[in-house]
Amino acid sequence: MNSFASPQTRATLPFPSPADNLYSRVFDAILEQRIEATSRFTEDSLAQMFGARRSDIRGVLTRLSHQHVIVLRTNHRPRVAALDHEQTRQMLHARRLTETTLVRLACQQSHPQDFKPLRALIECERNCTSRGPAIRLSGEFHLRLAEMAGNAPLAHFLGSLVPLTSLAIAHYDAQARSYCVWQVHEALVDAVEKRDGQKAQTLLSQHLDHLEEMLLNTGLTSSLNRVAG
């Protein structure tokens, strides 16, 4: 999953498929703004950039378009999506409603074997954030935690919201990009493992409050408009 992970961590985490690995590399490049919203990229240029086949790149772009991270239009080059203020507000509201329920269910439905890979993912985050923002890994933590709730439709819906959140964070500034820190995730996992639903929901609510404050109340609109322009 990450080159900074220890051998013990890599042994704990599931080995990603080649398609998932390519998806992660492309999405990381978008979030790290090595592929910018203003970039005029093509399937061919991305295939060269990542040393991949064009057909594999097309699959990744299709997956990212389903997540509304990439905009695909017939006879147009792909482009990175840009969220406006209202889209971001609605997305964060939907995420709060969904993830609060999932965390409560995770406290009820989780099993002891669920926590080892989750803590291994947190180690990856910790190692990565010592070198820079780990936006995609932070989002993946929330999706892995959602899987523990045992409600596939809700977890799938959250999977459509987390990539958009990551994109919004990446388009803001250094403060927002570091909002999702591994220490918060560690506290969340501790609460879920103890089946303390009230504490887990409080921690998550504070976590999302902090995100909303930065993205909605401190100039996200102007930041995203600069990216789109």
Average pLDDT for residues 4-20, to the nearest whole number? Answer: 55
Q: What is the pLDDT of residue 107?
A: 96
Q: What is the pLDDT of residue 25?
A: 93
- Amino acid, single-letter form, for residue 99: E
How does pLDDT run across 73-83, given as a tens digit for each residue? 988 899 998 88
Average pLDDT value over all residues in the chain: 84
CATH class, 17-80 region: mainly alpha
Q: Is the pLDDT of residue 26 over 90?
A: yes
Average pLDDT for residues 176-204, to the nearest whole number? Answer: 87
How does pLDDT run across 107-128, given as a tens digit for each residue? 999 999 999 999 999 999 888 8
Q: What is the pLDDT of residue 218?
A: 56
Q: Is the pLDDT of residue 1 over 90?
A: no
Domain ranges of the chain: 17-80, 85-228
Q: What is the pLDDT of residue 33?
A: 83
Q: What is the pLDDT of residue 227?
A: 45
Q: Is the pLDDT of residue 202 over 60?
A: yes
The DSSP-derived string for 117-186 is HHHHHHHHHHHHHTTS--HHHHHHHHHHHHHTTS-HHHHHHHHHHHHHHHHHHHTS-HHHHTSS-HHHHH
Q: What is the pLDDT of residue 217?
A: 75
Cα 57 to chain centroid, rounded: 20
How does pLDDT run across 43-81, given as a tens digit for each residue? 999 999 999 999 999 999 999 999 999 999 988 899 998
Give the span between the Cα atoms of 170 and 109, in whole angstroms: 33
CB atoms inside a 10 Å sphere around CB 50: 15
How sure is the predictor about 8, in pLDDT bands with cuts at 50, 70 and 90?
Answer: very low
Average pLDDT for residues 191-201, to the nearest whole number? Answer: 96
pTM: 0.79
Average pLDDT for residues 74-100, to the nearest whole number? Answer: 91
Residue bearing the bigger pLDDT, 179 or 184? 184
Give the span between the Cα atoms of 10 and 3, in whole angstroms: 9
Q: Fold for 85-228, please state it.
A: Four Helix Bundle (Hemerythrin (Met), subunit A) (1.20.120)
Q: Is the pLDDT of residue 150 over 80?
A: yes
Q: Nearest-CA neighbor of 96 among 3, 188, 212?
A: 212
Q: Is the pLDDT of residue 12 over 50?
A: no
Q: What is the pLDDT of residue 169?
A: 85
Q: What is the pLDDT of residue 173?
A: 55
